[in-house]
Chains A and B, each alone.
Chain A
Amino acid sequence: MASAPSSSTRPTASRPGIHLPDTARDLVKILVAGPFGVGKTTLIDSVSEIRPLHTEERLTEASAQVDDLDGVREKTSTTVAIDFGRISLPGGVVLYMFGTPGQERFRALWDDIAYGALGALVLVDSRRLDASFDVLGLVEESGLPYAVALNTFPDAPRHHTPEQLRAALDLEPGTPLVTCDAREAGSCVDALLALVQHLIDRRPPERR
Chain B
Amino acid sequence: MTGRRGGRRLVPAYLSTNGTARPSRPQLERLSLLTTSGTPVPPGLPAAQLALLDALREGSLTVVEAAALLELPVSAVRVLAGDLLDQDLVLARAPVPVAERFDPDLLKRVADGLRALKQH
Chain A residues packing against B (C-beta within 8 Å): 1, 8-9, 17-20, 22, 24, 26-29, 53-58, 61, 64, 73-74, 77, 84, 87, 89-93, 95-96, 112-113, 115-118, 186, 189-190, 192-193, 196-197, 199-200, 204-205, 207
Contact = CB atoms under 8 A, between A and B. Distances in A.
B118 A57 contact: no
B52 interface: no
Contacts of A113: 30
Interface stretch (B17-25, B38-46, B62-70, B80-88): B62-70
B117 A27 contact: no
B26 to A, nearest CB: 12
Interface residues of B, number: 44
Nearest to B75: A58
A26 B96 CA distance: 6
Given A64-B5, A115-B98, A199-B102, A20 B111 contact: no
Contacts of A64: 5
B65 A197 contact: no
Contact of A8 (B96, B110, B120): B120
Given A27-B62, A73-B6, A89 B109 contact: yes
A27 B33 contact: yes
Contacts of A92: 109
B95 A55 contact: no
Contacts of A19: 58-61
B47 interface: no
Given A17-B58, A93-B109, A192 B101 contact: no
Contact of B31 (A29, A57, A189, A197): A29
Contacts of B60: 19-20, 22, 24
